[in-house]
Amino acid sequence: MPDMAEVVLYHHIQGLTEGVRSVADGLRQAGHTVHTPDLFGGRTFGSIEEGFAFARQAGFDQLRERGITEAEALGVELVYAGFSFGVTIAQRLAQTRPGARGAVLIDSCLPVTEFGETWPAGVPVQIHGKQEDEFFGEDLPAARDLVGSTPNAELFLYPGDQHLFADASLPAYDAEAAGLLLERVRSFLASV
């Protein structure tokens, strides 16, 4: 039986929703340990705009630092995963924190140069997004660059334009794509 992964899964800009919790539970059912830090102190928001307004007021950098502090309280051999806003924390930790076992970037991908010169050798990464998602579309060149420059990187594009498509508690939810994403992430975690 493969070693089970320990994952830190960061929520998106609408907060730690039931849909994010559901994805974490889906990974736990496969035997993985999944931590879901609540960076918004229990608050969830009905729209991306409302979530951004809260994050602006609370301070994006302070929220990200809270996420980093949460990870530092855990071990070092972690897989860092995130949805959209959460990717900004997960990707930073995967690129800069020694011992990272992998990264799962959902709905977003930043240029590798945000956090260093190159992606760290030996740290596999999966990137997931909708082909026509206007938000992910802005990040698609960075995702393609990462896949083109890193041997252990995979990019999965799903048909449609929904952002946060894997969150079953939101109107953008796409059950078929979310199911495929969960299957792919489970396979990834079994291999790291």
Nearest Cα to Cα of residue 27 among 189, 164, 177, 169: 189
Q: What is the pTM of this model?
A: 0.96
Q: What is the pLDDT of residue 2?
A: 53
pLDDT at 35: 97
Radius of gyration of the chain (CA): 15
Summarised one tens digit per residue, pLDDT across range 10-61 is 999 999 999 999 999 999 999 999 999 999 999 999 999 999 999 999 999 9
pLDDT level of residue 74 (50, 70, 90 thresholds): very high
* Structural domain spans, the chain: 6-191
Tokens of 172: 């953008």
Mean predicted lDDT score pLDDT of the chain:
96
* C-beta separation of 9 from 36 below 8 A: yes
CATH 1.10.10.10 is the classification of domain 6-191: no
pLDDT for position 16: 98
Q: pLDDT category, 76, cuts 50, 70, 90? A: confident
Kindly state the average pLDDT of the residues 78-96.
97
Q: What is the tens place of the pLDDT at every residue in 138-181? A: 999 999 999 999 999 999 999 999 999 999 999 999 999 999 99
Phi, psi of 7, deg, nearest 5: -120, 140
pLDDT at 1: 42
